[in-house]
Each structure stands twice: as C-alpha cells, then as structure tokens.
Structure 1
Amino acid sequence: MKYRWLGKTGLKVSVVGVGTWQFGGEWGRTYSQREADGILNRAQELGINLIDTAECYGDHLSESLIGESISRNRGEWILATKFGHHFHRNFERTDEFDSREVVNQLEQSLRALKTDYVDLYQFHSGPDASFDRSELWETLNKQVQAGKIRHLGISIGSNENIHQTSQANNVNAKVIQVVYNRLDRKPETEVFPSCIEQNLGVLARVPLASGLLSGKYKPGATFATDDVRSRRDAAQLEQQMLEVQAIGRDEVPQGTDMAAWALAWCLNHPAVTCVIPGCKDIAQVEANAAAVELVETGHPQDAE
C-alpha cells in the first residue's frame, strides 16, 4: 500500500480507501456482520486504513456494521462519515442541515460507530443555501473543539461546485470529497485547482463510475430494481458503457485489469489524495488494493 497526507489534516491515509454505501443495502444486496467483518479485515491486511461512510447509508446501518467490525482496533482506522440527511427507506431521504439536527446526527453516528470521535465529518451533498449558514459551521467547529470531530470536510454534490470548494478554508474544512473518474473529469477545471491552492485533501468517490469502469458491464446491461444504478437514465448508462468499451480498447494497456487502471488513473492526478471505491466482497477489496502497483511515484502528497 502507498500513503499520502490528507491535505493539512496531518492524517496519513492509504491511497485506496473503502467506500461503504453498499453496506446500507441500496446496491442490490444486504450485508451480514460477518460479511462486513470479512471485507474490512481483509482491507486492513492489505494496508488500507480509511473507511468512508454516511449517516444515510441505511438509517446509520452502514455505520453500525463498521462500528461493530472495528470496535477492537478503532485507533488503527481513519473514519470518515457525513451529515445532512434523514433516511426514510431505500432511495428516500430528506435534507436535515439544521445545526441542532446535525449535532443529533453526529451523536447517532458516534453511537453507531461505537466511538467517541470521527476523524472526518463531511457536509453531505447539500445545497449552497444550507452550506452558507454560519450557525451550522460555528456549531460544527464547537464539536471539533470538544474532540468529537477531528477534522471537517465537504462532500460536494455537484462535482463542479466551486462555491463550496472555494469556501473550505473559511469554514475550517480541510477535505473535499468529489465524484471523479475517467468518465467524469469536471473537477479538473475549477475544483481541483482550488483544492491545490488551499492545500485540501481530496477523496475521489465513484472512481469506477459506479462499477462501469470495472469493464464487466457491456452495452445493454441492466440492473435489478434494488440496485441504485437502475434509477439512472438508461440512455446515459448505455452511452457510458459504449465509452468504457472504447477506453478499454484504446487506453488500458493489454493485460492490465481495467478497474485497477481506472483507480490509478484517478490517483495520478496531483490533487487527488485517495480513492474510495465501494467493494461488494473480499475479492473486490483485493482488486482495488492492487491499483497501487500502477500509481506513479512523486505525487505532491506522498507520505513516504
């Protein structure tokens, strides 16, 4: 595994993390505690030390599976979670960015995660109107002072949201989470330059384009109704699958695993600290971790 400094947080993170939306049950299957344990134990064996989750991946369900799994070695992990939504049922949430409600969400996340602090607490894909509430950030920074949050971050909903990105230093946020992959390069225009200028850590989510860049889905593929991908525009999905075919033919070296190539492609950008792909099973954890073999040396955030 390779490690980088997460902006100015002082946190040394593995370049590949574990995304855990799938633990919430919206990716076509549910998870037992044993299955979650297997994934996270194998990730740690491979040198992965960052887990990204959220309050609304299930009703704190993903957090609960993680909390139980790492309760014996909490200090060996960097835990990132998020706030801002109330989960009602699969694929149905409402925004909750009121400062008092956010403190309540934090307490619920801490209980679910079986810990008294989170390493990174992220504003979760909220609108600018909610982001611009000074009271929210004053409240969050009090939680930082109290030791319940080590660092604040912003998980921007639109990967072109320069408004929220540019204000990171002003609200004491040190990390930006953003959708970035070979099919979606929009952050390169404004978001990444702002992150570099502010010395922000960057977590690249959806680095495999919701699995499309694994290379396993061919044009015409469909998804089950309990898989979040079934809710996307069918024509757009088809176009992306065609584009993935072209990338595999023209850009991925022969004999190279496409998923590993796609993760390394993200990590080779000078703004990106870490990718946080989801993983349905242990084999996918192992495949994700193998991407480090394709990551170039000399990144600005390299820790060793």
Structure 2
Amino acid sequence: MTARTFETRRIGETALEVTTLGLGCASLAGIFSAVPAAQARATVAHALDVGITYVDTAPQYGLGRSEHLVGDVVREAATRPTLSTKVGRLLRPVDPARQDKGNWIDPLPFDQQYDYSYDGVMRSFEDSRQRLGLEKVDILYVHDIGAATHGVEANKPLWAQLAGGGYRALRELRDAGVVKAIGLGVNEWEVLMDAFALGDWDMFLLAGRYTLLEQTALYPFMSTCLERKASVVVGGPFNSGILVGGDKFNYAKAPDDVITRVRAIEAVCREFDVPLPAAALQFPLTHPAVCNVLPGPRSPEELDGILAWWDADIPDALWTTLAEKGLLAPGTPVPGGTA
C-alpha cells in the first residue's frame, strides 16, 4: 500500500513532528463493544501503512490489552511511529470473576490502582514498556487526573502525589532523553491550567473540550498553550459519537440542547455539501496550538471512512458561516481571522 502525504506539525519545542491525523487506540481494546484482536492489529497496521505517524495508547485501555496489541504491530513495523502511553494507573492481577471491568468488554485480568507518585510514574512507565515489548516510548501523559475523574476531594491527595514527585519523575525521564515529551491526557481543561503551575509541559491530550461542538477550552487554556509553547492533541473529535450520527455526547445520552446545536451545525455543513463528520474531524486544526487530531477507529474500514472525511474539501466560508450564526465561540480561530 502506498503511504499518503499528511501535513506534519511540531510538538511544542521538541524535535518531534507528527502527522496531523493520529490513531487513538482505546476503542481497539473493546470499549462498549468487543473488537477481535486480529481486527485491532489490522487497524494499527493499516494506519501505519497509510502514513499516520502518531499512535496513542494507555494502560487503562482494556486494562493492558491495547498496549499489547499496539506493541505487536509496532515491533514489526518498517518505520516506527511516534508512540505515546500514559501514567497514573498501575495494573494489579485479579480473579476475573471479581474484576471491575468498567466499560471494557474483554479486558485482561487486572484491576487498576491510581498512583501519580514518583515511584508510581516510574513503575507505570516500566510496566508499559514490558506490555508493549518495546525499549522506548516517545511521549508520556499523566492520565485522567482531575476532579472530573476523581471528584474534588478525592483528587486532592492524587494531585499532591503528582506535585510532590510524579512531575519530577516525568521531568527526569525527559531530561535524560528516555522520553521526548511529557504532558497530561484528560477530559477537562481546568486541571491543565493547574498543571501549568507545576512547571513546563510539551503537550496535552485533551478529549472533547475543543471540538466543532464545544470550544470551552478556548480561553484561558488554548491561549495559554500558545504563550507557553505547548502543543495540543485533540482527542474525541466526534464528542463520543454525536458528530457522526450517534446519540452519545461525552459518553452519555446527548441532551436535547446538544442535539439542537448539532442539527444547526449540520444544516450549515449541508449548505456547503460537506459531511458533518468531515467538518468535525478537520475543525480542531484551525487552531495554531493544535498539532494532531486523534480519532479512534475500530477497524481498517472505519479508518478508511475517517480518511475520506479527512480528504473532504472544506471551504473557508463554512467556518465563517458557522461563526456568523453563533455556532462557534467568540475568538475561535478560523481561516482568515477569528469568530
């Protein structure tokens, strides 16, 4: 298969450059519905074959399953992609009959324990390299820290772990050249503003908060990223499926006001003969802080559908029309200016 030519963008002030389209590997681990292992591996291989150079995984995804599947493919790849995984959860063996599987259909037999301490970060990193079967990982994210995941009170001691040692561990790994970039991977932008107070970060993986449907992260988070020269990877560009015809918004059934807003955006897309998913996929890259958009296809065929949306020609007038109709937040960057 002939690789495609994707635009590449630099991550922060590092030497890393990644294609603006990446591969997120949570869905491949079987969230909400099962994905056969051969299908998951084929999806990763297809992404590399078409020229995608950034792949993201995590210990949480399938409780180790995603890292195993990704490693199987990447080890055999002619050219290795830029690879990210995450710290903050340690996996402990458990009797499958007593396992908390969460939304994972067929996870590996482990439970997860949150640990953002110095030793926890170092242990998580080593465990991930063993599951991947790889000697190196390029990017480490602190995964799912913040009130949205843990609650306000329960997050306080976990944040103290990160501030008291976890961040130092990440800095040591980066400064020693063991990893090339560090950041956080979360679903809320507010905790990322707290992270800026700890020190410097290269990048953030933010899911769902800067999308065609929602630009709540625009100020002060995205503007601060520009000031601090940190890049943003946008995960969840379809807001859990509502922007590709599904009924879920941020992992739950979409409320009426969200559905109404989606219909209004879709009407503008129809006016320009642009599929709504194509606009959703390409929208985040209009912001100069964004280096990559990270969808999570479940099969090679789904990835091909994403590539078709990626190739769709979107006139600048679509974005300005959305802005004129109040369907983009004030100040949202669009070609030729801001909303």
The corresponding residue for 2:59 is 55
- The Cα of 1:167 is off from its aligned counterpart by 3.2
1:250-275 C-alpha deviation (Å, 9 max, x unpaired): 24554322212111111112221111
1:49-97 C-alpha deviation (Å, 9 max, x unpaired): 1011111112211011000011122752000111112466332854221
TM-score w.r.t. the length of structure 2 is 0.75
CA contact (8 A) 1:165 1:194 kept: no
1:38-57 C-alpha deviation (Å, 9 max, x unpaired): 21222123221101111111
The corresponding residue for 2:34 is 29
SS at match of 1:177: strand
Q: Residue 6 and residue 57 in structure 1: after superposition, are their counterparts in 2 closer, same or farther (change >3 A)?
A: same
The corresponding residue for 1:11 is 16
Q: Percent identity?
A: 22
One-letter code aligned to 1:48:
I
The corresponding residue for 1:106 is 125
The corresponding residue for 1:91 is 102
One-letter code aligned to 2:143:
H
The corresponding residue for 2:202 is 174
The corresponding residue for 1:205 is 235
CA contact (8 A) 1:266 1:275 kept: yes
CA distance in 2, matches of 1:40, 1:154: 23
- The Cα of 1:173 is off from its aligned counterpart by 2.0
1:40 to 27, 30, 44: 44
Unpaired stretches in structure 2, ≥5 consecutive residues: 1-5, 92-98, 104-111, 147-154, 317-333, 335-339
CA distance in 1, matches of 2:313, 2:49: 19
The higher radius of gyration belongs to 2
- Segment of structure 1 superposing worse, 64-73 or 37-46: 37-46
CA distance in 2, matches of 1:10, 1:292: 27
The corresponding residue for 2:263 is 245
CA contact (8 A) 2:120 2:166 kept: no
The corresponding residue for 1:288 is 306
CA distance in 2, matches of 1:120, 1:100: 18
CA contact (8 A) 2:28 2:297 kept: no
One-letter code aligned to 2:268:
D
SS at match of 1:121: strand
SS at match of 1:89: coil
- Segment of structure 1 superposing worse, 125-134 or 64-73: 125-134
The corresponding residue for 1:302 is none
Q: Any residues of structure 2 matched to 1:65-80 within 5 Å, and which?
A: 65-73=69-77, 75-80=79-84
Q: Residue 69 and residue 44 in structure 1: after superposition, are their counterparts in 2 closer, same or farther (change >3 A)?
A: same
CA contact (8 A) 1:55 1:109 kept: yes
- The Cα of 1:155 is off from its aligned counterpart by 1.8
- Segment of structure 1 superposing worse, 195-204 or 277-286: 277-286
SS at match of 1:4: strand
CA contact (8 A) 1:58 1:89 kept: no
CA distance in 2, matches of 1:183, 1:265: 10
1:152 to 182, 187, 192: 182
- The Cα of 1:293 is off from its aligned counterpart by 4.8
CA distance in 1, matches of 2:270, 2:90: 40
One-letter code aligned to 1:137:
Y
* RMSD of Structure 2 on Structure 1 (CA): 2.8
SS at match of 1:207: coil
SS at match of 2:86: strand
CA contact (8 A) 1:205 1:276 kept: yes
CA contact (8 A) 1:99 1:135 kept: yes
CA distance in 1, matches of 2:11, 2:298: 26
- The Cα of 1:146 is off from its aligned counterpart by 4.6
Aligned residue pairs: how many? 284
1:117 to 126, 136, 159: 136
User: Which structure has the higher relative contact order (CA within 8 Å, separation 6+)?
Assistant: 1
CA contact (8 A) 2:193 2:221 kept: no
The corresponding residue for 2:7 is 2
Unpaired stretches in structure 1, ≥5 consecutive residues: 300-304
